[in-house]
Amino acid sequence: MAKSYLSVVIPAYNEAGNLKNGVLNEPLEYLRKQKYSWDLIFVDDGSTDDTYKLLAGLTDKHIRVLRIPHGGKAAAVTAGVLAAKGDYVLFTDFDQSTPINQLDKFLEAHKSGADIVTGIRAKTEHDTLFRKIRSWVYVTLVQVVVLPGLKDSQCGFKSFTHTASQKIFSNLLISLPTGEIKGPYMGAWEVEVFFLAKKYGYRIDQVPVRWIKYVSDRLNPWRDPLFMLRDTLKVRLYDILGKYDQV
């Protein structure tokens, strides 16, 4: 695809149900109303259902679908970001927990000089007390160990200038898979992304967004937080060992 003003990257893993329920109707309608040029990149992360078939059936000329071996969310997002040609690159979750109409605020922040804009889940809907407590504990840990001042590293709605996105995602050390991945896998790739952003001196703006909790059995509520904790501590360890000084 030719260069565009905005590239939107959406990772997908076994999303056939959401596709059939029309989850893409709102983002597609929103993008088609914009006056600027855009393209939408779906990255099928080795789905075992009809996700790829359904995505490949979309006929919009602005859409392209990449397919990668299953490697988890970080691998899918990285593949999409590195393929993006937009002046700005937005990553958003497939289920649209943060509605795409929140993007307007992000583009305004970029126009004022931000290299990276990340959502802060200031207004959450349908969330549980357990999730809120777990999220608070993890966010606090991330702030203490790696990213002081960053209020919400995990919100699935982030945008980058093209230059920042290419440099950061080309230099991830711990986020990409090194062995066989089974089932959904997320890890703490966003922590490493923000760590590199700060290391490279990029300006990060934090913008409050609406966030809706959709019911899902995709991630294990006990196992996956442990993986995220491991990766967060690993970023700090790599920093101490000077591994990031080489990228």
pLDDT at 145 over 80: no
Looking at 152-166, 183-197, 218-232, which range is the least confident one?
A: 218-232
pLDDT at 195 over 80: yes
Residue from 205, 123, 124 nearest 159 by CA: 205
- Taking only the tens place, the pLDDT of each residue in 23-57 is 999 999 999 999 999 999 999 999 999 999 999 99
Q: What is the mean pLDDT of residues 63-74?
A: 94
pLDDT at 136 over 80: no
CB count in 10 Å sphere of residue 15: 26
pLDDT score of 222: 56
pLDDT at 61 over 70: yes
How far the first Cα of the chain sits from its last, in Å, is: 29
Across the chain, what does the average pLDDT equal? 87
pTM of this structure? 0.88
Output phi, psi for 184, to 5 deg.
-65, 140
Q: What is the mean pLDDT of residues 233-237?
A: 92
pLDDT score of 175: 85
In Å, how far are 104, 107, 142 from 86, measured between CA atoms? 16, 13, 30
Looking at 163-172, 184-193, 229-238, which range is the least confident one?
A: 184-193
Output phi, psi for 153, to 5 deg.
-80, -20
Q: What is the mean pLDDT of residues 172-185?
A: 75
pLDDT score of 146: 78
pLDDT at 129 over 70: no
pLDDT at 215 over 60: no
Fold adopted by 4-246: Spore Coat Polysaccharide Biosynthesis Protein SpsA; Chain A (3.90.550)
pLDDT at 81 over 80: yes
pLDDT category at 228 given cuts 50, 70, 90 is confident
Residue from 117, 107, 127, 92 nearest 197 by CA: 117
Beta strand pairing status for 86-92 and 4-12? parallel
Domain residue extents for the chain = 4-246
pLDDT score of 179: 64
pLDDT score of 1: 63
